[in-house]
Amino acid sequence: MSGEALERYQNLGLRESLSLSYRYPLVCKELGVILRLGFSKSPKPLQSLLFEDTIAAFRLLPQMQTQSAVSAANLLSQSAAAAFPKQKRGLAATEFKQAKVAYKRRFKTQQERKDLVQLPQDVLVHLFSFLDMQSLVSAGIVCWSWNAAASDNYLWQLHYITHFGDGEIIPKQKGHQSSRNFCEDANYDWKEAFQKAYLGLPSWRYKYNRGFCRFCDSIVWPNNLNCPKAHLTTFQLHGIQPLKPLSPSQLVRYVLENDTSWLYSSDSDSESDEEGDLKFWTFKY
């Protein structure tokens, strides 16, 4: 049982994802939930690994460039303070304090640099066109120039079509008479249209950052709400979505429970959001 829980936790790939700046806040929040809900129930080897990953997250904080990373690390430190025993709690607190000091020094140094070379906006837009939705939102909170590029209307049009289909279902905006005209209107605000459509979705399936792929039989970071391996499966041929969204509390259940048959069930649409609104849209810019 101990070895199986440890293996399932390692399959989440949290340590590897920490070094990716656009995933750092998500991993810190995910790790924090696992600490709060599962640390005391975890076997000793898993507790040791959870502690190591928490320390690794704090040590990587100075390399991050966004306030969302600091906020996520702060939440992780609160979870660590609540979950760890006294000795580990003290060590984690010391690491976090040192990380915050190093982050502030690095940030100040970067602010003082006057020769920082920025890529042209058209180059940034082209590069951002290869990002999935979550990565695009995260890129937009890195700095001012990235924010401008990530707000490009063309990028939001691409993602609107990817997520919601063609322009026939675009909600009407003031001054427009037919949805067909929206696709041809260069001034149409695709970012606003995406946000309205996204926030208005009745299903909770778009709220979470993780999913279980029935085809891959593994937990993945979705790419535009699909498995990143982009395989055409028999599920999709029959109109069935092979990717099952998972909430942070369900990840804890996946790690600690020996029975994972519930992952293959289709009852996730009735789940409530136990951890609050964890949509990637919360990373506004």
Two tokens, residue 164? 């919601």
The CATH fold of domain 124-199 = Monooxygenase (1.20.1280)
Across 4-13, 67-76, 266-275, least confident range: 266-275
| Distance between CA atoms of residues 179 and 192, nearest Å | 15
**Residues sharing a CB contact under 8 Å with residue 254, sequence separation 6 or more, in sequence order:** 8, 212, 219, 246, 260, 263
The pTM (predicted TM-score) of the whole model is: 0.67
Residue holding tokens 């696992």?
A: 34
| Distance between CA atoms of residues 177 and 282, nearest Å | 31
- What is the domain partition of the chain in residue ranges? 2-112, 124-199, 204-282
pLDDT tens digits, 194-219: 877 776 654 545 567 788 888 888 89
Predicted confidence band of residue 280 (pLDDT cuts 50, 70, 90): very low
Highest mean pLDDT among 205-214, 222-231, 234-243, 260-269: 205-214
Q: What pLDDT was estimated at residue 29?
A: 92
